[in-house]
Amino acid sequence: MIDHSRIMQQKDEKEYHLYHALCKRGITTFRDDENLRVGDRIRYTLLEAIERSRMSIAVLCKDCASSTWCLDELVQIMKCWNNGKNRPVLPIFYQVEPSDVRRQRNQYEKDMMKHEDRYGKDSHDIKAWRSALREVANLSGVTCTVK
pLDDT single digits (tens) 66-108? 999 889 999 999 999 887 667 899 999 988 999 999 999 999 9
Task: Using pLDDT thresholds of 50, 70 and 90, give the confidence band for residue 9.
Answer: very low
Task: Using pLDDT thresholds of 50, 70 and 90, give the confidence band for residue 3.
Answer: very low
Longest dimension (CA), the chain: 43
73 assigned to active site? yes
* Burial class for 121, CB neighbours closer than 10 Å (0-12, 13-18, 19+): exposed
| pTM score | 0.80
**pLDDT for residue 10 is more than 50:** no
Contact 141, 98 (CB under 8 A): yes
CA distance 139 to 72: 18
Active-site pick, 13, 15, 51, 73 = 73
CA angle 103, 109, 111 (to 5 degrees): 135
* Burial class for 45, CB neighbours closer than 10 Å (0-12, 13-18, 19+): middle
